[in-house]
Homo-oligomer: A and B are copies of this chain.
Amino acid sequence: MVRGASSVLLKPKTTEEVSAILSYCNQHKLAVCPQGGNTGLVGGSVPVFDEVIISMALMNQVESVDSWSGVVVCQSGCVLEALDQHVAEHGLMVPLDLGAKGSCHIGGNVSTNAGGLRLLRYGSLHGSVLGVEAVLASGEVIDCLSTMKKDNTGYDLKHLFIGSEGTLGIVTKLAINCPPRPTAVNLAFLGLQSFDDVLQTFRDAKSKLGEILSSCEFIDRSSLECVEENLKLKSPIEPHPYYMLIETSGSNGDHDEEKLNTFLEYVMTSGQVTDGTVATEPSRIQHIWSLRERIAESLIADGYTYKYDISIPLPHFYKMVEDMREHLGSSIIRCCGYGHIGDGNLHLNITSKEYEKEILSRIEPTIFEWTARVKGSISAEHGLGFKKRNYIHFSKSDGAIGLMKQMKKIMDPNGILNPYKVLPDN
């Protein structure tokens, strides 16, 4: 879908080198495409024409870990999983986890405001990133690399760089607040008969698991079948129309187990959950997580995947999948839904043997209109990138889009930073 024709790829090692590159490119009006782990799903990190690619892969140094405050300062090219392993030695964890952790960069996570599997517990990067150093299009370095949890001195500029997908500046360093690593982790895999039961079980998990609830994920039958058929992974329970993964993380294993048992007894006695299993050992936890994390990969074997990442108010959450399935009928192989139900974030995926323009035109803009009608978001955590920029008006007002364009103009007057991304074509 997205393929550029760049002839130059640069790999700076320092902020000064990024500054020198941008200063040169800005003077010569050369467009650049900043690239982290290149794991984005909306074409945000892929050049469109002949942009100069600036890869952050060599800027992978951890600068400091403050074990008093839990604040970590690092360069933006650190791979998420490697950074998490690094801070684990200090009893900390990166407050972000997602399927692409083995290759995505923390700077890319920040630039795209990645959400992931534990936003429910640890909140968004707008809350946990304390400081950012970024280079503007002009080459000017903006130092907002505060390591303080509270710093109300003027406009909090770091938020301009969080989620703007490299179109307002290139993030070179960041400070992130890392919580203590939990000593006890449990994972329940549940089977449910109706979507109403899913919603009620989420509500019960919030009230009965309270502060130890660290993830609440949803998988429909069609998604699980895809993982089973295409990747030969085995479900630990019998087939059900709906599944949930509920993870707890805490500081006292006995307490957590007791809370989880109380919760499970409640939802099974009430009949909301008709089958389930609990994993405590790391290898079983890993296996169950792979059923959720590898769905995207399993879809590839079907042929072509039309991928959507949408926020929807919970009462409408699964209705969208049902409506799309009915709307598309037999023209497709699969229409399935899974995702972060605790955050109201649905990953809706549709597959066909190969890419068909006609199928796409039946999906879009219908799916975005549907989302706008229930006041959802047409991109929950993936961003707009190249692929979704022209649908922005389904989630943002003309006034807001106008203000975004003005900000782009003052921060990147020549438009060299990641062009054709985020903002709509004129």
- Interface size of A by CB at 8 A reads 90
Which residues of A97-119 have CB atoms within 8 Å of chain B's CB atoms? 112-113, 115, 119
Taken together as a complex, chains A and B put the C-alpha atoms of A399 and B164 apart, in Å, by 19
With a cutoff of 8 Å between Cβ atoms, the chain B residues found around residue A144 in the complex are 396-397, 400
Q: Does A15 contact B (CB under 8 A)?
A: no
Taken together as a complex, chains A and B put the C-alpha atoms of A120 and B128 apart, in Å, by 11
Q: Does A191 contact B (CB under 8 A)?
A: no
Given contacts A400-B157, A411-B403, contact A151 B377 (CB under 8 A): yes
Which residues of A126-177 have CB atoms within 8 Å of chain B's CB atoms? 126-128, 136, 140-144, 146-157, 159-160, 162-164, 168
With a cutoff of 8 Å between Cβ atoms, the chain B residues found around residue A149 in the complex are 119-120, 124, 311, 343-345
- Which of A219-227, A251-259, A324-332, A357-365 contacts the other chain? A251-259
With a cutoff of 8 Å between Cβ atoms, the chain B residues found around residue A259 in the complex are 251-252, 255
With a cutoff of 8 Å between Cβ atoms, the chain B residues found around residue A240 in the complex are none
Copies of this polypeptide in the complex? 2
Given contacts A151-B311, A251-B208, contact A407 B404 (CB under 8 A): no
Assess whether B403 is in contact with A147, with CB atoms less than 8 Å apart.
Answer: no
Q: Does A212 contact B (CB under 8 A)?
A: yes
- Which of A29-37, A74-82, A231-239, A379-387 contacts the other chain? A379-387
For A394, give the chain B residue with the smallest CB separation: B153
Assess whether A142 is in contact with B403, with CB atoms less than 8 Å apart.
Answer: yes
Q: Does A12 contact B (CB under 8 A)?
A: no
Q: Does A271 contact B (CB under 8 A)?
A: no
- Which of A2-10, A199-207, A287-295, A299-307 contacts the other chain? A199-207
Given contacts A142-B397, A400-B154, contact A126 B380 (CB under 8 A): no
Assess whether B206 is in contact with A155, with CB atoms less than 8 Å apart.
Answer: no
With a cutoff of 8 Å between Cβ atoms, the chain B residues found around residue A148 in the complex are 311, 313, 344, 375-377, 380
Question: B123, B141, B151, B377: which contacts A153 (Cβ < 8 A)?
Answer: B377
Question: B136, B203, B381: which contacts A152 (Cβ < 8 A)?
Answer: B381
With a cutoff of 8 Å between Cβ atoms, the chain B residues found around residue A209 in the complex are 251
Q: Does A337 contact B (CB under 8 A)?
A: no
Taken together as a complex, chains A and B put the C-alpha atoms of A112 and B151 apart, in Å, by 11
Cβ-closest 10 pairs across A and B: A127-B127, A210-B251, A159-B159, A148-B311, A151-B377, A150-B380, A153-B395, A123-B127, A255-B255, A211-B211
